[in-house]
């Protein structure tokens, strides 16, 4: 498999080169030359296969010839001691992506990436330096995934005062080979600083740099796994029981329907809380590979650049606005470039609907779902749930509909608990250190000085 920049289709590179450099030299994002289809036996067995087997079959064609099959098996098993259960809640399905060590979906990409990087850089003397901008959950997942990994240092930039207190402890509580920088600005400022640093020739000469945002293809590809596994399960008419220790039920299991919602043989529509659009792009990869997915809903908060684009056909990036669903506060989504390099506007409109939700509606739905179902939603999942409600009023989505629960509600207790009462805390969030971060202005000279 070769990888090309979204801005230059002439020069292909290996998976290792694409992953370890993160951003293409011309500033573009790496995309695979093709999105490989699942072999027919795999495609027809997604509903019965083990999660790790689906992970292996999903990643394998993208790393063929660079990560041997036995090594890849070990990487997958080490990366995923957790899975992504598909739970019926009310009239829809919830794909719970928060059962990893940082209680957010970013664990699926970051943990595989850390282990893949360690393998791909075996024997290297010069340490790798990873720069990552985060609007919330990415920083914690990357910090945890790479913490203590020999030969790799990580610098995480996050917007000061715009992440939750718990997120900040996850981002800035590890130290060691992890350095946290609190930027006096927005996520877009953090993202701009990282991209500018990658284009600095003097810095490139002195350090081996890579990224760990969803701009990195090595983090994006593994996120296709849970889409394929959930879509296969729903197509087979199956769901999962709630996980006892980390399930966000008021009383674990209360409100779970006795009969599963999925109709065997019917493809699922996924509603994805969307910010930088890496997660949704990974879902589109899974769909293209052959997972039984009918389409997607991109649900954003008031940072509605992509829903507006789908309506008007005009892409107009803007400054981000702070909301209670802070991980989605992105006014200029990086993965828009990857999406439009691989799909035309007409193709996107055929499989993707956009919807946006304001904070007041998000709070209302968190309260309502807890009251009627006994289930806690975090603000991002609340945006997706309400987005489904808004679209149901204007068009038929069909069934089943799957809502991606991208973070455990305990990560946003200060927002959720005034609406619902005390949120159950999963074991992964009970022992976190106080944050230690250096504050810098949103200026490239300040970042370069630190580096």
Angle at 177 between CA 139 and CA 157, to 5 degrees: 30
Quick: pLDDT tens for 225-279: 999 999 999 999 999 988 877 788 865 445 545 454 777 899 999 999 999 899 9
- C-alpha closest to that of 301 among 376, 368, 381, 367: 381
pLDDT at residue 212, as a whole number:
81
Distance CA 278, CA 221 (A): 9
pLDDT value of residue 398: 64
CB 351 within 8 A of CB 296: yes
Looking at domain 82-103+219-426, its CATH architecture is 3-Layer(aba) Sandwich (3.40)
Per-residue pLDDT of 148-172, as tens digits, reads: 888 899 999 999 998 888 889 999 8
Q: What is the pLDDT of residue 251?
A: 55
Check the CA dihedral 374-376-381-384 and report its sign: positive
If you average pLDDT over residues 280-294, what whole number do you get? 97
| Angle at 217 (CA atoms; ends 157, 410), nearest 5 degrees | 50
Residue for token digits 């309400």? 386
Would the pTM of this model clear 0.85, i.e. be above it? yes
Lowest mean pLDDT of 81-95, 202-216, 321-335, name the range.
202-216
Higher pLDDT, 327 or 99: 99
- Nearest C-alpha neighbor of 108 from the set 63, 59, 152: 59
- How far CA 25 is from CA of 6, 162, 204, 209, in Å, comes to 11, 31, 11, 12
| pLDDT over 90 at 205, yes or no | no
Task: Give burial (CB, 10 Å; 0-12/13-18/19+) of 55.
Answer: buried
* Choice between 173 and 361, residue whose per-residue pLDDT is larger: 361
Helices 359-373, 379-394: inter-axial angle, 10-degree rounding: 90
Q: Which helix (H) or strand (E) holds 220?
A: helix 217-220
- pLDDT tens by residue, 168-193: 999 988 889 999 999 999 988 998 99
| DSSP category for residue 64 | T
Which 3 state secondary structure label does DSSP give 23?
Answer: strand
pLDDT band at 397 (very low <50, low <70, confident <90, very high): low
| Amino acid 174: pLDDT | 86
Mean of the per-residue pLDDT values of the chain: 91
pLDDT category at 304 given cuts 50, 70, 90 is: very high
The domain locations on the chain are 82-103+219-426
CB 313 within 8 A of CB 345: yes
The pLDDT of residue 258: 45
Question: Which one is predicted more confidently, 212 or 186?
Answer: 186
Instruction: Give the residue-averaged pLDDT of 332-355.
Output: 94
Average pLDDT over residues 371-390: 95
pLDDT at 80 over 70: yes
In this prediction, residues 312-330 reach a mean pLDDT of: 91
Share of the chain above pLDDT 70, in %: 96
Mark residue 3 as left, alpha or beta (left: phi above 0; alpha: psi -120 to 50; beta: remaining). beta
């Amino acid at each position: 498999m070769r990888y090309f920049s979204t801005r230059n289709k002439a020069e292909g590179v290996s998976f290792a080169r694409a992953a370890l450099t993160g951003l293409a030299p011309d500033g573009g994002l790496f995309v695979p030359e093709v999105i490989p289809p699942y072999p027919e036996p795999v495609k027809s067995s997604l509903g019965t296969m083990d999660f790790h087997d689906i992970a292996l079959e999903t990643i394998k064609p993208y790393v063929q010839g660079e990560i041997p099959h036995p090594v890849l098996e070990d990487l997958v098993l080490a990366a995923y001691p957790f899975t992504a259960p598909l739970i019926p809640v009310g009239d829809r399905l919830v794909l719970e992506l928060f059962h990893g060590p940082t209680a957010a979906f970013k664990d699926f990409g970051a943990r595989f990436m850390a282990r893949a990087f360690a393998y791909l850089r075996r024997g290297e003397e010069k340490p790798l330096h990873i720069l990552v901008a985060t609007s919330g959950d990415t920083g914690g997942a990357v910090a945890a995934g790479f913490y203590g990994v020999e030969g790799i240092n990580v610098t995480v930039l996050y917007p000061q005062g715009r992440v939750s207190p718990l997120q900040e402890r996850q981002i800035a509580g590890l130290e060691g080979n992890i350095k946290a920088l609190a930027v006096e600005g927005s996520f877009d400022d953090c993202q701009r600083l990282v991209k500018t640093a990658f284009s600095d020739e003097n810095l490139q000469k002195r350090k081996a740099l890579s990224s760990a945002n969803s701009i990195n293809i090595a983090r994006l590809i593994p996120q296709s796994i849970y889409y394929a596994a959930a879509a296969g399960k729903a197509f087979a008419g199956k769901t999962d029981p709630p996980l006892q220790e980390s399930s966000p039920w008021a009383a674990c299991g209360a409100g779970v329907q006795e009969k599963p919602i999925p109709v065997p043989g019917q493809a699922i529509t996924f509603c994805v809380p969307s910010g930088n659009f890496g997660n949704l792009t990974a879902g589109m990869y899974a769909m293209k590979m052959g997972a039984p997915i009918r389409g997607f809903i991109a649900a954003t908060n008031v940072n509605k650049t992509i829903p507006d684009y789908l309506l008007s056909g005009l892409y107009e990036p803007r400054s981000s606005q702070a909301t209670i669903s802070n991980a989605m506060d992105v006014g200029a989504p990086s993965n828009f470039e990857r999406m439009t390099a691989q799909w035309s506007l007409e193709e996107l409109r055929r499989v993707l609907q956009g919807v946006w939700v304001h904070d007041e509606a998000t709070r209302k739905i968190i309260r309502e779902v807890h009251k009627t179902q006994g289930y806690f939603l975090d603000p991002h999942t609340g945006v997706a749930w309400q987005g489904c409600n808004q679209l149901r009023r204007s068009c038929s989505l069909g069934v089943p509909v799957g809502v991606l629960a991208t973070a455990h509600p305990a990560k946003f207790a200060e927002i959720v608990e005034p609406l619902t009462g005390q949120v159950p805390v999963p074991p992964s969030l009970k022992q976190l250190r106080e944050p230690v971060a250096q504050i810098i202005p949103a200026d490239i000279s300040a970042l370069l000085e630190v580096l």
